[in-house]
Amino acid sequence: MPGPLLSEPTKRDAMTAATKSEQMVAHPSGNKLEPGIVVMDRPDGSWAPLRFAPFRYQANPHPLENPRMSQSQIDGFVRASVKDPGIIECAIHWETICFSISYLSRNGDDEDDIDFTHFMPCDARREFGSPNGDIRDGCEGLVNKIESVWSEMARRFLNAVMMGHCRILARCDRPQALHFTEVAPDVFALFQITDWKSGSAESAAGDRLYAIHVAPPLSSVRTLIKIDVNEALTMLGKGQDRRAGAQRGKSWRFSPSSAL
């Protein structure tokens, strides 16, 4: 299985597509992929499609409070930012991971009847579009607010990628690629997302990513070594003796020539 076919301009700009782990993955023929390319056959339960990524991973614009935004903070941002006289509220429907707009029903006899519409924010123009392809009358302001909020969510997600809050995995170069490859943050920054729903992106050099997914960062592995208590105390005593001896052996002397 050949390695990802990144073009020379992309390789030159990014220096390398290697991740921090710098793993080597062998090919049955005996060839190896480039250092640092992490290859997986299929997504696991911790992965999320690209269209859900801005709902899960957002860098906090106020990082001193918390570097990553919580679900309640993301939902609060949406509720506060999408307000329109024609709706009751816009919020995130977490079961389906999409926007949910509530509004007074126009079909029921009861004036208190409430209807809901669920949609992906990247599809706002289609959701509120007319048969001729334009936005329905009276919905222009609402659509503009939704698109503005989605743009900010996407920007915060890309910042989260650069900060290491999540990992990017995709099929490189062709949609039928057999393996998913982890894409380093500096390389992913060279790509422009072209389709949030299918998870596609393209670089200025013509490289393409397909079926993009996001996954949590790999947790650091700590190796615990069991040491006998008496042995630990002996080692500690020897270290203190060495430090004390080093301090006694030091001689401090000031001379005018050394101060020049």
What residues make up the domain containing 138? 58-158
43 occurs within a structural domain: no
DSSP state of 155: H
38 occurs within a structural domain: no
Number of domains in the chain: 2
Q: Which of 135, 158, 181 is the last residue of a domain?
A: 158
197 occurs within a structural domain: no
Of the candidates 2, 39, 38, 7, the residue with the CA atom closest to the CA atom of residue 22: 38
Q: What is the pLDDT of residue 229?
A: 60
Q: What is the pLDDT of residue 215?
A: 95
DSSP state of 247: H
| Distances in whole angstroms, Cα of residue 83 to Cα of each of 92, 98, 172, 202 | 14, 17, 40, 33
Q: What is the pLDDT of residue 171?
A: 95
Q: Are residues 63 and 154 in the same domain?
A: yes
Q: What is the pLDDT of residue 216?
A: 94
Which phi and psi angles does 12 have, rounded to 5°? -70, -40
202 occurs within a structural domain: no
Ordered per-residue pLDDT tens for the chain, 260 residues: 444 455 555 544 443 333 333 333 333 333 344 444 556 666 778 999 999 999 999 999 988 888 999 999 999 999 999 999 999 999 999 999 999 999 987 765 656 689 999 999 999 999 999 888 899 999 999 999 999 999 999 999 999 999 999 999 999 999 999 899 999 999 999 999 999 999 999 999 999 999 999 999 987 544 444 555 666 566 666 656 555 555 555 544 444 444 44
| Distances in whole angstroms, Cα of residue 204 to Cα of each of 7, 9, 18 | 10, 9, 20
Instruction: Tokens 């289609």: give the residue.
Output: 126
208 within 8 A of 6, measured Cβ to Cβ? no
Name the pTM for this structure.
0.68
Q: What is the pLDDT of residue 20?
A: 34
Instruction: Tell me the pairing of strands 208-215 and 200-203.
Output: antiparallel
d(CA 239, CA 247): 13
108 occurs within a structural domain: yes
117 within 8 A of 125, measured Cβ to Cβ? no
Sign of dihedral through CA atoms 174, 179, 180, 181?
negative
Q: What is the pLDDT of residue 161?
A: 97
**135 bridge partner residues:** 129
14 occurs within a structural domain: no
Q: Which of 158, 185, 217 is the last residue of a domain?
A: 158
Q: Which of 120, 142, 158 is the last residue of a domain?
A: 158
Q: What is the pLDDT of residue 62?
A: 87
187 occurs within a structural domain: no
110 occurs within a structural domain: yes
Q: In a 3-state reduction of DSSP, which class is residue 223? A: coil
